[in-house]
């Protein structure tokens, strides 16, 4: 996976397969403590301890069409490569939470990628799932909830060709405002000094 938004798209597919009706995505950037974390929480079917112990194994999958399942292992590899880690907690009938932590400044941390695109694609493809999004940076926080968006749209489908780019635009502008995935302030000062 070349960026973190691809990982998010991938892990959320697990939640969708687990028949979740509410998926919460939390991103937290703390350059001060060198932390970048991604948390995906769902209310899907959950996993028992036996299954949970197996999901990090690349040769485990619940699918029958192929013998490998690389979503979780790839995310774990990327997280651990930066000195971070992957934690999964799950309870059958309650849901699953996947949390990946990265070193914010580590060279091997993939960039965030086009998060606005990823989120809108997820929302359009799964109109019956409620998505809550929360992104915290040193500058501030941006959050939205598809329940609020649907309330505003009053029956006009999100997939409408005029609404979709507007929604993408809205997310993009707000993420820009809180300077999502920007290098640390001090770093940019240094580089401008060098020039």
Partner 1 sequence: MEKIKSLADLKKIRDNVQTKIDLREKSEHPESLIQIRVAMATCGIAAGSKETMNYFLNHLEENGIEAVVTQTGCMGYCFAEPTVEITKPGKEPIVFGHVNCEKAEEIIQKYLKHDELVEGIIPVNYQSI
Single residue of 83, 92, 111, 165 touching partner 1 by CB under 8 A = 165
Min CB(64)–partner 1 separation in Å:
9
Nearer to partner 1, 40 or 122 (CB): 122
Interface pick for partner 1 out of 34, 39, 80, 117 (rule CB under 8 A): 117
Q: How far apart are CA 8 and CA 11, in angstroms?
A: 5
| Sole binder of partner 1 in the list 156, 183, 188, 190 (CB under 8 A) | 156
Asked if 167 interacts with partner 1 (CB under 8 A), we say yes
Cβ 94 to partner 1 shortest distance, Å? 23
Does the footprint of partner 1 cover residue 166 (CB under 8 A)? Answer: yes
Residue 32 is encoded by which pair of tokens? 């001060």
Contact call for residues 175 and 115 (beta carbons, < 8 A) = yes
Positions 84 through 113 that interact with partner 1 (CB under 8 A): none
> In the stretch 13-52, what mask flags binding to partner 1 with x, by CB under 8 A?
x--xx-----------------------------------
Residues at the interface with partner 1 (CB under 8 A): 1, 6, 9-10, 13, 16-17, 63, 65-66, 69-71, 74, 114, 117-118, 121-122, 124-127, 144, 148-149, 152-154, 156-157, 159-167, 169-170, 173-174, 177
């Amino acid at each position: 996976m070349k960026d973190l938004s691809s990982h998010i798209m991938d892990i959320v597919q697990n939640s969708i397969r687990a028949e979740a009706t509410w998926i919460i995505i939390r991103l937290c950037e703390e350059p001060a403590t060198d932390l970048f974390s991604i948390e995906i929480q769902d209310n899907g079917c959950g996993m028992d301890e036996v299954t949970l112990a197996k999901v990090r194994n690349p040769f485990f999958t619940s699918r029958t069409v192929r013998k490998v399942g690389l979503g979780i292992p790839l995310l774990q590899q990327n997280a651990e490569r930066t000195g971070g880690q992957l934690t999964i907690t799950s309870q059958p009938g309650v849901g699953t939470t996947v949390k990946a932590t990265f070193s914010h400044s580590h060279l091997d941390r993939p960039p965030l990628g086009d998060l606005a695109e990823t989120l809108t694609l997820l929302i359009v493809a799964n109109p019956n799932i409620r998505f809550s999004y929360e992104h915290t940076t040193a500058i501030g926080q941006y959050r939205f909830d598809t329940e609020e968006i649907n309330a505003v749209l009053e029956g006009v489908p999100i997939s409408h060709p005029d609404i979709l780019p507007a929604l993408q635009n809205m997310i993009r502008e707000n993420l820009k405002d809180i300077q999502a995935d920007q290098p640390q302030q001090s770093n940019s000062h240094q580089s401008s000094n060098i020039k």
